[in-house]
């Protein structure tokens, strides 16, 4: 290992290299190195034609992965989500680089397969969605369809269909650490999430590539206890100290460093959320939970409302709340700081979280929805022609026992459509998986049944025609129609208890 400047590290990245980078929103992002890659390319034309791989979205709409949206710098982007990247999303939409979208959890776990020399991942995640090679194969723009290799295939094992995600060589791995000692041992003690640093370093090292770590601080030999070494020195080739940590190595977009995101609760009560339509949706959604449930929340309305709704009802300790970044417990942050929680109870590696999710460990997930069609399919990955990507949506919605889509019918875009623009959630696959699927809005609740959507609840003061008039296809209604709880629309709600966990819930998805 040696200490290098940003420019020296970037000079080690060859043209045409496959580069794996770590991060989640702006957490874990090696901003100094990303910035250096863009600046060096603009000045010299190198490194160019890179294949850049990222498991999670990495931006705050301004920096991070947005540095790579420069024509000629990237030949291909292989990632999961570009929702917080307006320049990159437009860049891929205009066909200025090949765009391959794969599920976040499959990319995170694929790093470990590459490190271990395995040919890839075999899983049922992705079947029936746009990632399925019989539909789009994850190739989401024309250059990818014309030139990108096939990253996925269908394989039959014991008479059952599986998705096979192929391994590939990683020439350069880039991650960041809070502290690095003179030997190159890396600690992530001040990072809000652990993510994929170790897996990326192992994968690049075992691909005969180079590993670059951005350091927030350089510390003395022995300052990092062995159990706190997240990536050992033997895997690290270059260490770059961030020249401006306040700007280039922030714990989150919103803060340089705050103990609240890495420390357990002190028992202090967190501020209550202000009432909004979004909060009303979260309040309704959480009442489908049971005591002891292990729950995931997605970005958007779920990320902004489910945690606060649980906190105000004094239910945070009755369920286990998780985020796919690897965080357990606490009250989730929303918007561009999605992925962390205030006062978490545990922070584990990104891929380990998805192992648990993909294996059926989740009792429930709360996700947003961009479009819902007559079959109950959902699109969140291509909206208004914009390439957004799926993030961890496919992994999570294909493995949770209860899938609860939370979205508002307000807004300029129609949520119910005859046919979704892209198949991110397959209703047919959900039925095969025996999953319970709900669609919760501020006006009504729908359920996925064997023959499509059914209206099961409406808001107080509304009639069935008031709701179905906003749906451009026939939907059956269970009459007499139930009413959504009145108190979810009030400024505050009283604490309440969740029902006990029924034995029938246990193991619904096991053995798929």
**Would you name the residues annotated as active-site residues?**
324
Q: Distance between CA 399 and CA 394 in Å, rounded?
A: 9
CB atoms within 10 A of CB 463: 10
C-beta separation of 387 from 99 below 8 A: yes
C-beta separation of 5 from 239 below 8 A: no
Q: Distance between CA 492 and CA 76 in Å, rounded?
A: 49
Burial class (CB in 10 A: 0-12, 13-18, 19+), 87: middle
Q: Distance between CA 384 and CA 394 in Å, rounded?
A: 20
C-beta separation of 70 from 42 below 8 A: yes
Helix 277-286 vs helix 301-312: angle between axes, to the nearest 10 degrees?
70
Q: How far is CA 151 from the centre of its chain?
A: 20
List phi, psi (to 5°) of 374.
-65, -25
DSSP 228: G
Sign of CA dihedral 462, 463, 464, 467: negative
Tell me the CA end-to-end span of the chain in Å, nearest whole number.
Answer: 45
């Amino acid at each position: 290992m040696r200490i290098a400047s940003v420019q020296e590290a970037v000079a080690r990245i060859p043209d045409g290299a496959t580069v794996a980078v770590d991060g989640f929103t702006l957490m874990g992002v090696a901003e100094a190195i990303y910035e250096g890659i863009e600046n060096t390319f603009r000045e010299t034309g190198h490194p160019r034609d890179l294949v850049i791989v990222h498991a999670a979205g990495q931006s705050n709409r301004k920096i991070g992965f947005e540095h790579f949206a420069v024509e000629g710098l990237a030949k291909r982007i292989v990632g999961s989500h570009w929702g917080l990247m307006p320049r990159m999303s437009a860049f891929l939409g205009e066909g200025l680089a090949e765009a391959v979208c794969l599920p976040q959890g499959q990319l995170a776990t694929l790093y470990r397969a590459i490190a271990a020399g395995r040919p890839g991942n075999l899983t049922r995640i992705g079947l029936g969605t746009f990632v399925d090679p019989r539909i789009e194969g994850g190739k989401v723009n024309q250059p990818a369809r014309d030139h990108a290799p096939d990253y996925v295939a269908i394989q039959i094992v014991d008479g059952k269909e599986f998705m096979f995600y192929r391994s590939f060589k990683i020439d350069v791995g880039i991650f960041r650490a809070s502290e690095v000692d003179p030997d190159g041992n890396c600690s992530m003690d001040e990072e809000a999430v652990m993510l994929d640093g170790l897996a990326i370093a192992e994968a690049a090292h075992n691909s005969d590539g180079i590993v670059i770590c951005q350091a927030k601080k350089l510390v003395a030999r022995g300052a990092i206890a062995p159990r706190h070494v997240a990536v050992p020195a033997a895997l690290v080739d270059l260490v770059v100290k961030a020249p401006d940590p306040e700007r280039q190595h922030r714990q989150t977009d919103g803060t340089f460093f705050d103990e609240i995101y890495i420390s357990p609760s002190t028992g202090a009560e967190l501020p209550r959320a202000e009432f909004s339509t979004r909060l009303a949706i979260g309040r309704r959604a959480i009442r489908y939970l049971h005591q002891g449930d292990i729950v995931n929340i997605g970005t958007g309305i779920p990320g902004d409302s489910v945690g606060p709704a649980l906190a105000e009802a004094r239910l945070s300790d009755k369920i286990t709340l998780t985020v796919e970044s690897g965080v357990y417990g606490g009250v989730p942050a929303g918007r561009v700081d999605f992925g962390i929680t205030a006062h978490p109870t545990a922070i584990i590696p990104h891929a380990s979280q998805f192992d648990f999710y993909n294996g059926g460990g989740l009792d429930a997930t709360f996700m947003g929805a961009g479009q819902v069609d007559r079959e109950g399919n959902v699109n969140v990955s291509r909206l208004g022609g914009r390439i957004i990507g799926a993030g961890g949506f496919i992994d999570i919605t294909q493995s949770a026992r209860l899938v609860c889509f939370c979205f508002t019918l307000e807004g300029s875009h129609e949520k119910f459509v005859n046919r979704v623009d892209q198949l991110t959630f397959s209703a047919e696959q959900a039925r095969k998986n025996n999953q319970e699927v709900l669609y919760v809005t501020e006006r009504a609740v729908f359920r996925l049944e064997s023959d499509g959507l059914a209206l099961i609840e409406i808001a107080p003061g509304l009639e069935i025609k008031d709701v179905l008039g906003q749906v451009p296809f026939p939907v059956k209604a269970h009459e007499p129609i139930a009413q959504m709880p009145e108190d979810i629309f009030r400024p505050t709600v009283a604490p309440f208890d969740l029902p006990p966990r029924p034995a029938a819930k246990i193991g619904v998805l096991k053995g798929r």
